[in-house]
Structure 1
Amino acid sequence: MVVRTEEINVLTLEDMESPNMGFIITPLYTFNQQYSFLSLPNQRMFYTIVYFEEEGGIFAIDQSVVQVQKGEALSIVPSSVCTFEINKEAKGWVLLFTDAFFTKRYNDNVLHDFSFLKNNAVYKQLENNIDISKLRMMMDSMYDELKLSDKDSKTILRSYLNIVLGMLERCSGIRLATPYNKERENRVRAFEQLLEQYYKSERFPSFYAEKLNISTNYLNRICRERRNKSVGELIRDRILMEAERFLYHTFKTVSEISFELGFDSSSYFITFFKKKHGISPEEFRKMQR
């Protein structure tokens, strides 16, 4: 499943509904009709959770294609580039929310403590881990509360969302392998936020360490501890991810992609890409067809 476009547009919840509180929940059968433009490649700046009660769909998220079936759920993290084909007979729920919406009530650490929200993932056999009737009840309750939209609705919706995330956490089977140190984890998250802003122009670890008011050695140490990678590796991985997105989702030429990512020349970009993948960008693109 490859859908290509000229440009990957950045999509926020405000682009979907304005004004928007940072939270949308809608039944699958209306989602297909109301937000059909989402089937084109977009970089989503919000969390997405899709739960299928009936039928299913196919999703291309970054460079991975996943099939989600009846009784399964899918979570997509912000900044992912996504396209999809959902069965017209599908029933279930689509839940969209921003980091800012959740953290208005809960502090910044809580949302990131849900380990399943760190990566895109499919949750199979939900009925073996949670009470499906309670999950449906929570989805119904959120939908009704959003339609009500009175002065307390945001607080109530955040509470419901916290429960749903807790239920999905039970299904993920993910546990942090290293002891949790909030101060270090917060530092690494701050680095990752800076990286999202500057990866096209700033390639040296010292730039990010200076922004965080810490030494480069310390930043390297906590990145290895929390992400099992050096700062340099994380920077290169972010550049490569964007390169792969362009190759997979757009018609941009290799020369255009190298310019977009801040390389001095397309030959340098090709060398950079081949060092990671062992093949040229064009060969990578052909393999995705």
Structure 2
Amino acid sequence: MVVKTEEIRVLTLEDFESPDLGFFITSLQSYNQHYCSLFSLPNQRRFYMIIFLEDQAGRFVVDQSSTQIHKGEVLSVSPTSVCTFEIDKQAKGWMVLFTDAFFSKRYNDNVLYDFSFLKSNSVCKQLEYTEDMPRWRMMMDAMYDEFKRSGADSRTILRSYLNIVLGIMERHNGIAVDAPYNREKESKVRLFEQLLEQYYKRERFPSFYAEKLNISTNYLNRICKERRSRSVGEIIRDRILMEAERLLYHTFKTVSEISFELGFDSSSYFITFFKKKHGLSPEEFRKTQR
């Protein structure tokens, strides 16, 4: 059943009574006791989230897709997605939350973006049956102990542990890390995507983002096609469409309200935009999601 709300809540690490680290880890037992209500309604987050189930199962709705994860599997959820989830009350495992800024302080060049699975929501399956499982459990325990210790050097140590954990997940995703000569272009595209998250409701023209990045519109378009297989305009339109789908799926807002929130001059223009991409009006799309 679809859970709907008036507004999609935005969570930060402050909601978890976390020290000012940009990092938080808790056992799933503690999560079920203290924090599960935060995720019972549709939410977005200002942090990355990794959930590891040692046993039992969990049901997750991420954007419009329902995902079941089982014993020994790991779920990675990107900050911009909208999700709700329920984890078995008896489940054992870990929840790790961290911000972009926390990880990037470890490196001059933010290699966080080299982890392909963090670019979207993904489930790392079959970890239970690999030689990495004992190492994974050890790293979870070590991160938790260091987090609770809260020493002067804990930030540095936690970043190192996290880097190993992300590396293990990347290994089981089976996608090669970009070669160094691609990193500059990937970094530019990621900066564009970050700007898009800030401005997509107001700024629709590629030239705006190119100017912010101090590059030409043609160059931005070229590297987006190379790195994302889509033009800048397509990426902008797809981001607007994704938010429209989320609001239609997760909230009670009217088409007119959604149109206004997304910066359209009129609801009729929004309906035309949506129907061109989906072949359905916004209301027709909403009915298909019930």
Q: Shorter-chain TM-score: what band?
A: over 0.9
Equivalent in the alignment of 1:182? 183
| Matches of 2:177 and 2:64, distance apart in 1 | 25
Distance (Å, rounded) in 2 between the aligned partners of 1:84 and 1:224: 34
1:243 Cα deviation from its structure 2 partner? 0.4
SS at match of 1:218: helix
Instruction: State how far apart, in whole Å, the 2-side matches of 1:281 and 1:250 are.
Output: 13
Q: CA deviation at 1:237?
A: 0.5
1:275 is matched with: 276
Specify the SS of the correspondent of 1:181. Answer: helix
Alignment of 1:1-289 (within 5 A): 1-36=1-36, 37-175=38-176, 180-289=181-290
C-alpha change, 1:201 and 1:157, in structure 2 (3 Å) is: same
Shift of residue 121, structure 1, vs aligned partner: 0.4
Alignment deviations for residues 180-225 of structure 1 (CA, whole Å, 9 cap, x no partner) = 5122111111111111111011111111111112111111101100
Cα gap change, 1:205 to 1:121, in 2 (>3 Å)? same
Which has the higher mean CA deviation after the structures are superposed, 27-36 or 126-135?
126-135
- Per the TM alignment, residue 15 of structure 1 is displaced from its structure 2 partner at its CA by 2.6
- Any stretches of 5+ residues in structure 2 without a counterpart? none
Partner SS state of residue 161, structure 1 = helix
Displacement after TM superposition at 1:54 (Å)? 0.8
Deviation at 1:23, TM superposition (A): 0.6
Q: Which sits farther off after the overlay, 29-38 or 193-202?
A: 29-38
Contact 1:130–1:171 (8 Å) recurs in 2: no
Could you tell me whether the CA contact under 8 Å between 2:71 and 2:128 is conserved in 1? no
Structure 2 CA distance for aligned equivalents of residues 173 and 99 of structure 1: 23
Percent pairwise identity: 74
> Does the 8 Å contact 1:58/1:66 carry over to 2?
yes
Structure 1 CA distance for aligned equivalents of residues 276 and 148 of structure 2? 52
Structure 1: how far apart are the matches of 2:129 and 2:109?
31
* 8 A Cα contact 2:52 2:95, kept in partner: yes
Contact 1:258–1:269 (Cα < 8 Å) also in 2: yes
CA distance in 2: counterparts of 1:113 and 1:50, whole angstroms: 20
Q: Aligned letter for 1:243?
A: A
2:184 and 2:114 map into 1 onto residues whose CA distance is: 13
Which amino acid in the other structure matches residue 264 of structure 2? F
Residue deviations 1:249-277 (CA, integer Å, cap 9, x gap): 11101110000000011111111011111
Q: Cα offset for 1:226?
A: 0.7
Asked if 1 retains the 8 angstrom alpha-carbon contact of 2:47 and 2:98, the reply is: yes
Q: Following the alignment from structure 2 to structure 1, what is the Cα–Cα distance between the partners of residues 203 and 265?
A: 13
Structure-1 separation of matches of 2:178 and 2:133: 29
Structure 1 residue 34: Cα displacement:
1.1
TM-score where L is the length of structure 2: 0.95
User: C-alpha displacement at 1:107, in angstroms?
Assistant: 3.0
Q: Which segment drifts farther, 234-243 or 180-189?
A: 180-189
Is the contact between residue 130 and residue 167 of structure 1 (CA under 8 Å) also seen in structure 2?
A: no
Contact 1:178 1:225 in 2 (8 A): no
**Counterpart residue type for residue 189 of structure 1:** R
Tell me by how many angstroms 1:108 deviates: 3.9
Closer/same/farther in 2, CA of residues 18 and 74 from structure 1, 3 Å limit:
closer
List alignment gaps of at least 5 residues for structure 1: none
Amino acid at match of 1:7: E
Q: In the TM superposition, what is the alpha-carbon distance from 1:176 to its structure 2 partner?
A: 5.9
User: What amino acid maps onto 1:92 in structure 2?
Assistant: G
Contact 2:210-2:217 within 8 A present in 1 as well: yes
Q: How many residues align?
A: 289
Query: Could you say what the CA RMSD is over the residues aligned between the two structures, in angstroms?
Result: 1.5
Shift of 1:179: 8.3
Q: Could you tell me which amino acid in structure 1 is paired with residue 25 of structure 2? A: I
